[in-house]
């Protein structure tokens, strides 16, 4: 009897969530959602746990949010996993963070493959530890032929560095006489960004209550809708994600004009 009651309690939220997902999918879904995953440390501190415990719990949230994003039909999910500024953190914490991609991908890679998810990464790949690079590259190779949602990790990523590298590449082309400076326009710049093959984000979500971009996709987010939630990343569950997409669907995006794009 107790087992039946427990299954009933579990089934009811699952059914309601499935109904909400179906409702969300009947309206305009953002093609690209970018998330600044913030609040792992504060989540751990509230529980008198070490910061690394928060990061480990946050890894579980990555799985949940990746799965529901794929279920909702989001084409690209970019997760800000480690910034170029994060190297300033304590070595013990950095070492743990560099092991997380290996743990996450080794545990959930079969599931990602089953869901037809394609793993990609933006950021300075070469400066990562070899074990981190190996884990990420294995996942990229194993999912290269998948054509479902792209799960894009921003790892050792900083937007200012990305823009500097972009400008250097374009300046080199100009110095070699391959382009004229007058030919430099938005499309040329975008073609030299790390996200050149991806659509620009439609929605940026930042968890934990902080209201800043933290050097994340400064060019790409020019016309994205922003959402800042007080929920700490380890507590950001499927219902939170559905609510964020529903809120996005109420907005009218004008892109500088008078008329919107019809989200509402």
86 in catalytic set: yes
Is residue 24 within a helix (H) or strand (E), and if so which, with residue range? helix 2-25
Q: Output the DSSP codes for 37-69.
A: ---HHHHHHHTT--HHHHHHHHHHHHHHHHHHH
- Give the Cα-Cα-Cα angle 186, 190, 192 (nearest 5 degrees): 125
147 in catalytic set: no
Which residues in 144-184 belong to E strands, given as ranges?
150-157
Alpha-carbon gap, residue 147 to 100, rounded angstroms: 25
Alpha-carbon gap, residue 209 to 211, rounded angstroms: 6
Characterize 107-133 residue by residue with b for buried, 16 or more Cβ atoms within 10 angstroms of its Cβ, and e for exposed: ebbeebbebebbbbbbbbbeebeeebb
Closest CA to 21 of 264, 261, 244: 244
Alpha-carbon gap, residue 228 to 209, rounded angstroms: 6
Only one residue has tokens 């082309």, namely 173
User: Of the listed 14, 40, 71, 86, which one is catalytic?
Assistant: 86
User: Of the listed 14, 38, 141, 237, which one is catalytic?
Assistant: 38
What tokens were used for 256?
């500088």
| Pair 159, 214: CB distance under 8 Å | no
Closest CA to 77 of 29, 113, 110: 29
Known catalytic residues?
38, 86
């Amino acid at each position: 009897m107790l087992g039946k009651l427990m299954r009933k309690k579990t089934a009811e939220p699952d059914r309601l969530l499935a109904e909400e997902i179906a409702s969300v999918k009947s309206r305009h879904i953002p093609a690209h959602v970018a998330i600044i995953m913030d609040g792992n440390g504060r989540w751990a501190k509230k529980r008198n746990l070490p910061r690394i415990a928060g990061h480990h719990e946050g890894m579980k949230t990555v799985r949940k949010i990746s799965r529901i994003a794929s279920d909702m039909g989001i084409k690209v999910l970019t997760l800000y996993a480690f910034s170029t500024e994060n190297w300033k953190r304590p070595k013990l914490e950095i070492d743990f963070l560099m092991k997380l991609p290996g743990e996450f991908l080794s545990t959930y890679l079969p599931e990602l493959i089953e869901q037809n998810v394609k793993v990609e990464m933006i950021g300075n790949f070469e400066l990562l530890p070899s074990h981190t690079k190996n884990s990420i590259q294995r996942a990229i190779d194993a999912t290269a032929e998948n054509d479902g949602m792209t799960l894009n990790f921003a790892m050792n990523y900083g937007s200012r560095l990305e823009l500097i590298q972009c400008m250097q590449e374009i300046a080199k082309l100009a110095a070699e006489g391959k382009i004229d400076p007058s030919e430099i326009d938005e499309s040329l710049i975008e073609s030299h960004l790390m996200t050149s093959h991806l659509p620009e984000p439609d929605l940026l979500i930042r968890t934990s209550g902080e209201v800043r971009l933290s050097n994340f996709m400064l060019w790409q987010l020019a016309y994205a809708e922003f959402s800042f939630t007080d929920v700490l990343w380890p507590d950001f569950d499927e219902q939170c994600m559905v609510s964020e997409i529903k809120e996005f669907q109420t907005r009218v995006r004008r892109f500088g004009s008078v008329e919107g794009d019809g989200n509402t």
